[in-house]
Amino acid sequence: MSRNTNAKTQILTFIQKSVKAVSHAEIHQELGNICDRVTVYRVLERLVKEDFIHKIVNIDGVLNYAACNSCLNKHNHNHVHFSCENCKSITCLEKIEFEVNLPPNYIFEEAYFTIKGICSNCNLSINTN
């Protein structure tokens, strides 16, 4: 069992309230007064391990973090992520799942599937100007 710290609670709350996946830099910028950068990394790794959040690798290879919302009985992050070229947001598209069929004797553990394009908010903004 892991202990709850003020930093852990604030970081988890920030991620859960965010409508998009957030990077370590964004978390530290927003909550930097509660702890240093290394502690933020440690808290994020603990939250991932405890299945409160999951990692998303964006198109540029930067790790982002999002709350686990659809992992009810079976923890599963095999859904698609969308990376917007315009606003740089990353969103979980949890209703779009994918299946991986590996050759015999391969064991699937985790995959990162990210679609790059223009999100609906930016698309609406572009088309109304």
C-alpha–C-alpha distance, residues 50 and 53, integer Å: 8
Confirm if 111 and 100 have CB atoms less than 8 A apart: yes
Which amino acid belongs to residue 68? C
pLDDT score, position 75: 47
pLDDT score, position 124: 84
C-alpha–C-alpha distance, residues 44 and 125, integer Å: 33
Long-range contacts of 109-113 (CB under 8 A, 24+ apart): 110/77, 111/78, 112/56, 112/57, 112/81, 113/78, 113/79, 113/80, 113/81
Domains of the chain from N-terminus onward: 6-128 (1.10.10.10)
pTM of the model: 0.71
Note down pLDDT in tens along the chain; length 129 residues.
456 689 999 999 999 999 888 999 999 999 877 888 899 999 999 999 888 998 888 877 888 998 876 554 444 556 788 888 888 888 878 777 777 889 999 998 877 788 889 999 899 888 776
